Amino acid sequence: MRNQSRLYDCLVECKIDEIKVIIQSHFTSIPGEWYRKNKIGKYEGYYCSVFYSYFASLGLSIKCEDMTNHGRIDMTVVMNHAVFIFEFKTTTGNKDKDKAIKQIKEKNYAEKCKGLNLPIYLIGIDFDKTFNISMGESGNKTDLDGSELVSQLKT
């Protein structure tokens, strides 16, 4: 419960670096025996489901598979002060590095939310086959004109 309220506070305060720590902590708390002898870790839907349930338990306004004219955003969280666009990818090695954030940018997912007149945070999360989480070049905030303003996360 403590991490849940901390996650909510970090979203309210737009503390992307701390959100990353909470997310990594949450995933490392999932017992390895639940996925060690099966292929669930290969499927993006597994990660999306865990994320959705964690964020939904906070009572947030969430849109999953949020359609745009260029594709589907995995998860959009709209709050009174900001929008958070999440894209999840399962990856294998360095060739897929930062795949999720690249997709957000290439497909211009932030465009859909600009009419809300709120800051938009782009958060791409890559999961590798060993359940490591990389938010790579994530946490970029776009201004209303689409220019990137804030931080870059490196793991």
Specify the CATH number for the domain of residue 45: 3.40.1350
Kindly indicate the confidence band of residue 89, based on its pLDDT and cuts at 50, 70 and 90. confident
Question: Residues with Cβ < 8 Å from 124, sequence gap 6 or more?
Answer: 86, 87, 89, 98, 99, 100, 101, 102, 103, 104, 135, 136, 137, 138
Q: Is it the case that residue 42 has pLDDT exceeding 90?
A: no
Overall domain count for the chain: 1
Question: Is residue 71 domain-resident?
Answer: yes
Question: Is residue 76 domain-resident?
Answer: yes
Model confidence over 90-104: pLDDT tens digits? 887 677 778 888 899
User: Which of 21, 19, 2, 1 shows the shortest CA–CA distance to 10?
Assistant: 19
Kindly indicate the confidence band of residue 3, based on its pLDDT and cuts at 50, 70 and 90. low
Question: Is residue 113 domain-resident?
Answer: yes
Which residue range forms the structural domain that includes residue 114? 2-142
Q: What is the pTM of this model?
A: 0.81
DSSP assignments along 104-146, one per residue: HHHTTGGGGGGGG-S-EEEEEEEEETT--EE-TT--EEEPTTS
Question: Is residue 108 domain-resident?
Answer: yes
Question: Is residue 20 domain-resident?
Answer: yes
Question: Is residue 121 domain-resident?
Answer: yes
Q: Which of 18-22, 31-35, 71-75 has the highest mean pLDDT?
A: 71-75
